[in-house]
Chain A
């Protein structure tokens, strides 16, 4: 059993080992949906929600699989749970806000294949977190993902006003900025001990 404090887990998941900038999880939406600040923050919220639900489910599934001694089913059952949660969120957003639904576009169903969510479920199992710790971990990871996405979107909105050379426009300059952001986040290492 893991005895890390809640505060440590949160800071660790959110800043020190930021899922996007240190673990490279969830790069696809990070590069794809970070064009506009508004969309980015809502995407972050949707991902955080899916993370919370799937983290809870993953905790239960892990306990069940240990009980029936079938650890090889872990990956398959995690992905099924995540896929169904995403389906739920998709239906909810379509009903509540069709505009947001259009803005997120293909990236909404693609939350299923967002490595950050499956990665979260796997990491919390590997680290042996209990139920509450898992929840805090999911919250921290979600906050970190949203933070990275929002920072990136803010920078890219500014970038729209500059005249970057044609060859670096698009993915190249986004990756360069991501690299600099990642360097910045290294300044947080050692925090939360």
Chain B
């Protein structure tokens, strides 16, 4: 018995070595498989990005487009504004306000979807395999409907003559309709609704892998529900929390449709500001510079997340 166990062990070791080689070959092959996608990314993502970068340093054309002369005006306009009467330079307050609103609303959206998505994902992950499939399907259903239609649907609910206000009025809880449309709250509501599945899915993925015996072990060792949540569940599903936060925060920052419809153009976010420059504003260099700025904000946020992720990954691996 002892001998055969040792032999089995040796087999396992040599098997592992062979497996290692095969895996290396596999990875090489996968790079080949990825080549078409890489080519598309190169031309369809990096190419336009380079064009944006170049445009941001050119002179704006009178009716849109660019004039091929170097100019810092685009970048100047992002952050500063010159008074048209006395030429004094000051911060571009309107832009700063929009930057701030974008970051603030994206952060709140991320936190709100995390607070809503965490118990949802936990609930799904603790169901039987059959029910998990059903609930996951329900979570993905909103993806099947066009974003515009979903956003208009929210508008129908929250507008002054909408469902929510009618019900509240009928119940006598309010005496006049609450103005939700065209406020930050409306944008927030829309974004949280739209991006919630993007939070639930990665959270679920990491909770599904969570060994619930660890949760039992926690209870067994005198941890209360809250302590088990804080010291065992959250640390172990951190990769899911980080992935979900990135998936919600990044598109929130560049959101266009939701603030356009629910914010009604009064409450602009970065996406709307950029669109404005390429459209009515006829200021392509400014639009390009704003786009690059948005990209930089996203990159900084990502770097912050990734650093956090690798820190927590050291211990939890294995």
Check if A and B associate: no
B interface with A by C-beta (< 8 Å): none
A interface with B by C-beta (< 8 Å): none
